[in-house]
Amino acid sequence: MQKTNFDRPLHPTAAGLEPPPGGLASYPPSEQWEDWMEYDPAQWPKKVERRYSLIPTICFNCEAGCGLLAYVDKKDLSIRKFEGNPVHPGSRGRNCAKGPATLNQVNDPERILYPLKRIGKRGEGKWQRVSWDEVLDDIAARVRKALKEERLTEIMYHVGRPGHELIYHQRILHAWGIDGHNSHTNVCSASARAGYAFWHGMDRPSPDHTNARFILLLSSHLESGHYFNPHAQRIMDGKEQGAKICVIDTRLSNTASMADYWLSPWPGSEAALLLAMCHVILKEGLYDRDFLSKWVNWDDYLREEHPEKPQSFDTFLNVLEAAYARYTPEFAARESGVEADVIVEVAREAGRAGSALATHVWRNAAAGNLGGWQVARALEFLVVLVGAVGTQGGTSPSAWNKFTPNPPMMPPPAKVWNEMLLPREYPLAFFEMSFLLPHFLKEGRGKLAIYFTRVYNPVWTNPDGMSWIEALTDESKVERHACLTPIWSETAWFADYVLPMGHASERHDLMSQETHAARWIGFRQPVLRIAL
Ligand code: SF4
């Protein structure tokens, strides 16, 4: 076993850090992370001491980026468990079950530990261990040949769960002069992002649930929202402080069961419901006049759309009310099946909350229905009407709370249009139309000289997994497939190379997410390397 030096400070910046407000009442103080003692629970009722180094890192199992503490046993340098990091500003020491389950991933007896090369047919399941040099020589030669022959759409890097290198691989793709980044976003959040981006150029909402007076959610945020652990605890904070909650969701989720209002509309009618709420706000004068007059470009709108009318803010309000006159609660009731009285009641709650209206939609109705982007657009309209943008208890644009580092010396984007990513017949596509890739390959729009999948399992996650298997087994369409993954997956099974990756306690990443009304940066780090 390697000699360790426990006198060296493991994480000097953590010393003296206090948990953020709303954090845990009981936790290992950061001053004691170097040498933390707990009794071994497996030895109970005997009191057998174990001594740990507690090394902070960040969960890699969803985008919330919650803090973890790895409990590294000082005796044998093994990771005994993962618990929440009490000083992480977003998660505040709490995790969902997937955070501590990082231990199962690290110790998974079937995880990928070294590069593997296919030796049978694709999908046959025959593999041979190879060196990184062999893999990199082959892949680099293919990339080089494609670039030299100007086959600039034949290199594709398809990302499922990104880490920090998302920014840096863009830099590489730009430097190569190709448009080769593909994402999973069009089976996830693209529609909601479009709705938000068309409002304010930033494609995510960042609600301040803690300080809200009314929380309006489209989705089951307590158990499966986008930032569900950081959001869930703040939704509960808000509720404890008197906020009311409305959940618009066809499903009776755990979140809906805890809400003051559960509206279960017909799928696809959510935008009508929200527009009816806007109608009530406008009709009953519950909007924030000062906010609208200052921050909405009403004068541009009047000049472009109603040049014949007096160019005043009052004209704008009249025009707005007339434009939304047809979205009555009765109209929405017919569309959605939700009673008109309930729609009016929820609209008045939103109006009374004013600047403290926290809202969120990510996938849910926006992802599940044709034109779902209008759900996010209508929801943000409600937020704007009551003046809850960027306020305490309101809903901020994401970039106000999320820090995104710019890579140094970013080359300009390539002047190449990749029809297999953003085909011209979908001019409003907000992200790559990635779910259509196997169909584009099949109909002969192109081929791939080298296709990377990176923590991405389309065979399993996309609805037509068999189409993906068909494409991935056709070597004339996908000449090389390199699958970067910490564990086996259905997609890895159809690769030429399966390449290992690190889990949460094994990687370097910088993380920042819009989990609440503050901005934070955290570091994912290889904890055993720190402990050594
Ligand atoms: S909510 Fe937090 S703990 Fe749970 S998977 Fe996501 S990042 Fe990990």
Q: What is the pLDDT of residues 193-210, one digit of tens each?
A: 999 999 999 999 999 999
Strand pairing report for 509-511 and 450-454:
unpaired
The position carrying tokens 């999973």 is: 184
Mean pLDDT in residue range 231-255: 94
Mean pLDDT in residue range 292-316: 97
For 366, other C-beta atoms within 10 Å of its C-beta total: 29
Tell me the C-alpha distance between 436 and 531, whole Å: 45
Supply the DSSP string of 257-321, one letter for each residue.
Answer: HTSSEEE-PPTT-HHHHHHHHHHHHHHTT-S-HHHHHHHS-HHHHHHHH-TTS--SHHHHHHHHH
Local structure of 479: helix, strand or coil: coil
Supply the DSSP string of 189-230, one letter for each residue.
Answer: THHHHHHHHHHHS---EEE-GGG-SEEEEES-HHHHSTTHHH
For 326, other C-beta atoms within 10 Å of its C-beta total: 10
Q: Which tokens belong to 175?
A: 């430097």
The position carrying tokens 């399993």 is: 460
Please tell me the predicted confidence (pLDDT) of residue 408. 80
Statement: residue 13 has pLDDT above 60: no
Write the pLDDT tens digit of every residue in 56-114: 999 999 989 999 999 999 999 999 999 999 999 999 999 999 999 999 999 999 999 99
Burial class (CB in 10 A: 0-12, 13-18, 19+), 422: middle
What backbone torsions phi and psi does residue 500 show, to the nearest 5 degrees?
Answer: -70, 155
Tell me the C-alpha distance between 229 and 68, whole Å: 13
Local structure of 420: helix, strand or coil: coil
CA dihedral for 249, 251, 257, 261, sign (positive or negative):
positive
Contact 376, 361 (CB under 8 A): yes
Run of H or E including 419: none
One-letter identity of residue 252: L
Mean pLDDT in residue range 28-53: 95
Statement: residue 53 has pLDDT above 50: yes
Which value, in Å, is the radius of gyration of the alpha carbons in the chain? 26
Mean pLDDT in residue range 272-289: 98
Statement: residue 363 has pLDDT above 70: yes
One-letter identity of residue 315: T
Residues within a 6 A CB radius of ligand 1: 59, 61-62, 64-66, 91, 95-96, 98-99, 228-229
Q: Which tokens belong to 407?
A: 């890579």
Write the pLDDT tens digit of every residue in 447-460: 999 999 999 999 99
Q: 231 CA to middle of ligand 1, Å?
A: 11
Statement: residue 156 has pLDDT above 50: yes
Please tell me the predicted confidence (pLDDT) of residue 334. 98
Please tell me the predicted confidence (pLDDT) of residue 454. 94
Does ipTM top 0.95?
A: yes
Q: 63 CA to middle of ligand 1, Å?
A: 7
Contact 156, 480 (CB under 8 A): no
Write the pLDDT tens digit of every residue in 382-423: 999 999 999 999 999 988 898 887 778 889 988 999 999 999
Q: Under CATH, what is the fold of the domain 205-400?
A: Dimethylsulfoxide Reductase; domain 2 (3.40.228)
Q: Which atom of ligand 1 is nearest to the CA of 65?
A: 7
Please tell me the predicted confidence (pLDDT) of residue 8. 45
Q: Where are the domains of the chain?
A: 12-110+505-531, 116-188+409-499, 205-400
Q: 11 CA to middle of ligand 1, Å?
A: 22
Q: Which DSSP letter does residue 17 get?
A: P
Write the pLDDT tens digit of every residue in 333-345: 999 999 999 999 9
One-letter identity of residue 310: P
- Mean pLDDT, all residues of the chain: 93
Residues pairing with 159 in the sheet: 183, 454
Q: 148 CA to middle of ligand 1, Å?
A: 43
Tell me the C-alpha distance between 469 and 156, whole Å: 17
Q: How does residue 16 score in pLDDT terms, banded at 50, 70 and 90?
A: low
Statement: residue 12 has pLDDT above 70: no
Q: How does residue 268 score in pLDDT terms, banded at 50, 70 and 90?
A: very high
Q: 95 CA to middle of ligand 1, Å?
A: 6
Please tell me the predicted confidence (pLDDT) of residue 221. 75
Q: What percent of the chain has pLDDT over 90?
A: 83
Tell me the C-alpha distance between 119 and 25, whole Å: 55
Q: Which is more confidently placed, 10 or 118?
A: 118
Q: Which atom of ligand 1 is nearest to the CA of 99?
A: 3
Pick the range with the lowest mean pLDDT from 154-168, 297-311, 377-391, 472-486: 154-168
Statement: residue 322 has pLDDT above 90: yes
Q: 59 CA to middle of ligand 1, Å?
A: 6
Q: Which atom of ligand 1 is nearest to the CA of 68?
A: 3
Identical fold at 116-188+409-499 and 205-400?
no
Please tell me the predicted confidence (pLDDT) of residue 9. 44
Q: Under CATH, what is the fold of the domain 12-110+505-531?
A: N-terminal domain of TfIIb (2.20.25)
Burial class (CB in 10 A: 0-12, 13-18, 19+), 147: middle
| Sequence-ordered alpha helix ranges (H) in 386-426 | none
Q: 94 CA to middle of ligand 1, Å?
A: 9
- What's the CA dihedral at 387, 392, 395, 397 to 10 degrees? 100
Q: Whose CA is nearest to atom 4 of ligand 1?
A: 96
Mean pLDDT in residue range 247-269: 94
Pocket test residue of 96, 455, 515 for ligand 1, highest count of atoms within 8 A of CB: 96
Statement: residue 436 has pLDDT above 60: yes
Q: What percent of the chain has pLDDT over 70?
A: 96
- Residue 184: which of 463, 431, 492 has the closest Cα? 431
Q: Whose CA is nearest to atom 2 of ligand 1?
A: 66
Statement: residue 4 has pLDDT above 60: no
Q: How does residue 5 score in pLDDT terms, banded at 50, 70 and 90?
A: very low
Q: How does residue 3 score in pLDDT terms, banded at 50, 70 and 90?
A: very low
Run of H or E including 129: strand 127-129
Statement: residue 11 has pLDDT above 60: no
Tell me the C-alpha distance between 58 and 88, whole Å: 9
**Domain covering 116-188+409-499 assigned CATH 3.40.50.300 in the classification:** no
